[in-house]
Structure 1
């Protein structure tokens, strides 16, 4: 298990897929500033964000939690686990739309 957020691992996963951190933030319904805090290990991920990252990167939530650090929750145990993939996509689209309107 990673002790701290593994920035290099996440950047490599994004690069393999031709994606940016901006896309990652939008997919999770986060602002880019929030994602920057996550990458600096200054903000933890929610279960819903872990699930969104897993879907985006084509891996299982447990791998995202492992690479994100010791206290990262794995989806499935808490109330955020009920958020469906469709709801996450809608949230990502709404976040991107809000960004474009600025």
Structure 2
């Protein structure tokens, strides 16, 4: 996974398809300003945006996520058991916080 958004890679994929960045923004439902933040590594892509970028660029969603330097789950590949376990941990932590507040 890249540590930072790989703007050169995205620009090269767009150039291969003869597309400007504005098309990428429009396809993902983003404003040009939002896309500029993504390219400056100041805004992370959502899983849905990763999927749109992948389709438009003709690559796998995992490649887009890796090149964007994010940990966004690849659409359609979320492990339901891991998701449930993570949610259960969050609920347990929240319940502990509520109990602690009630005791205060």
Q: TM-score range by the shorter chain?
A: 0.7 to 0.9
In structure 1, list runs of 5 or more residues that go unmatched.
79-102
Structure 1 equivalent of residue 30 of structure 2: 30
TM-score by length of 1: 0.72
Confirm or deny that 1:55 pairs with 2:60: no
5+ residue gaps, structure 2: 80-104
Aligned to 1:3: 3
Distance across 2 between alignment mates of 1:27 and 1:70: 20
The match for 1:14 is: 14
Match of 1:97 in 2: none
**Aligned equivalent of 1:72:** 72
Tell me the distance in 2 between the aligned counterparts of 1:64 and 1:51. Answer: 8
How large is the RMSD of aligned CA atoms in angstroms?
Answer: 1.3
SS at match of 2:33: helix
Q: What's the offset of the Cα at 1:72?
A: 3.2
Query: What count of residue pairs does the alignment treat as equivalent?
Result: 78
Structure 1 residue 70 displacement after superposition: 3.6
Normalised TM-score (structure 2): 0.71
Structure 1 residue runs of 4+, over 4 Å off? none
Q: Computing the radius of gyration over CA atoms, which structure comes out larger, 1 or 2?
A: 2
